[in-house]
A and B are shown apart, each in its own frame.
Chain A
Amino acid sequence: MTFQHPLVLWGLLGLIPVALLLYLEYHYATVKIPVLVAPDNRDRFGQRWVRRWSLSSVCFGLFYAAAIVALAGPVWGERYEEEERQGVDILLVLDVSKSMYVSDVPPNRLSRAREVLLGLVSDLQPARLGLLVLRGSANLVVPITEDRRTIEQALNHVETVGGTQPGTDLTAGLQVARRAFPATGNRYQLILLVTDGEDQGLTTIAVAQELGAAGLPVFCVGTGTAEGGVVPGSKGPPSRLEAVKLQAIAEASHGRYLDVLDFRAMNRLAEDIRAYQHERESRGYRLRPVSHEALVTGLALVFLFLSIAVRSLGRWQTQ
Chain B
Amino acid sequence: MASFENPWLLLLLLIVPPAIWLRHLWRGRAGLVALSFALAQGRQFRPPPSAWRVLAAITVVVFWLGVSLIIVSIAGPTNINRERVYLNRGLEIILLVDVSPSMAAQDVAGKNRLQQATETLNNFIAKRGSDGVGVVAFGTDASLQCPVTQDYATVRDRLGQLRPNMLGEGTSIGLGLAVAAVHFSPDRTRDKVVVLVSDGDNNAGEISPAAGIELLKNAGIRVYSVGLGSDREVYLEYAESETGRRISGTYKGVLDESLLRSVASSTGGKYFFAGNGLGLDSVLESIDSSEQVQSEVRLEVRKEPLAALFLVVGLGLILLDMGIRRLILRELA
* Chain A residue contacts of B283, Cβ below 8 A: none
B82 at the interface (CB under 8 A from A): no
Q: Which of A21, A52, A184 has the most CB of B within 10 A?
A: A184
- Contact check, B311 vs A186: say whether CB atoms are below 8 A apart: no
* Chain B residue contacts of A217, Cβ below 8 A: none
- Contact check, B85 vs A21: say whether CB atoms are below 8 A apart: no
* Chain B residue contacts of A312, Cβ below 8 A: 22-23, 26, 29-31
A293 to B129, CA, bound (A): 35
Cβ-closest chain A residue relative to B5:
A294
B130 at the interface (CB under 8 A from A): yes
Give the size range of B's interface with the partner.
35 or more
B45 at the interface (CB under 8 A from A): no
- Contact check, A184 vs B150: say whether CB atoms are below 8 A apart: yes
- Contact check, B30 vs A147: say whether CB atoms are below 8 A apart: no
B114 at the interface (CB under 8 A from A): no
Segment among A97-105, A161-169, A277-285, A296-304 that sits at the interface with chain B: A296-304
A305 to B330, CA, bound (A): 21
- Contact check, A71 vs B132: say whether CB atoms are below 8 A apart: no
CB distance from B80 to the nearest CB of A (A): 15
CB distance from B300 to the nearest CB of A (A): 9
Given the interface pairs A25-B326, A185-B150, A304-B67, the reply to whether A298 lies near B23 with Cβ below 8 Å is no
* Chain B residue contacts of A313, Cβ below 8 A: 22, 29-30
A185 to B33, CA, bound (A): 67
Given the interface pairs A185-B150, A297-B307, the reply to whether A21 lies near B83 with Cβ below 8 Å is no
Chain B interface, DSSP helix/strand/loop, else mixed: mixed
- Contact check, B19 vs A308: say whether CB atoms are below 8 A apart: yes
A34 at the interface (CB under 8 A from B): no
- Contact check, B30 vs A316: say whether CB atoms are below 8 A apart: yes
A143 at the interface (CB under 8 A from B): yes
Q: Which of B71, B146, B333 has the most CB of A within 10 A?
A: B333
CB distance from A191 to the nearest CB of B (A): 15
Given the interface pairs A71-B311, A304-B318, the reply to whether A146 lies near B30 with Cβ below 8 Å is no
Contact indicator per residue, chain A 15-30, by CB within 8 Å of chain B (1) or not (0) = 0001001101100110
CB distance from B6 to the nearest CB of A (A): 7
Instruction: Pick 20 A–B contacts, CB within 8 A, sort by A.
Output: A18-B319, A21-B323, A25-B326, A25-B331, A36-B33, A130-B149, A142-B147, A143-B154, A143-B155, A145-B132, A145-B134, A145-B148, A146-B132, A293-B307, A293-B308, A301-B74, A312-B29, A312-B30, A316-B31, A317-B33
Binding site for A on B (CB under 8 A): 5-6, 9, 12, 15, 19, 22-23, 26, 28-34, 67, 70-71, 73-76, 83-87, 129-130, 132, 134, 144, 146-152, 154-155, 182-183, 185, 187, 298, 305, 307-308, 311-312, 315, 318-319, 322-323, 326-327, 330-333
Binding site for B on A (CB under 8 A): 18, 21-22, 24-25, 28-29, 32-33, 36, 49, 52, 60, 64, 67, 70-71, 73, 84, 130, 140, 142-147, 149-150, 180-186, 291, 293-294, 297-298, 300-301, 304-305, 308-309, 311-317
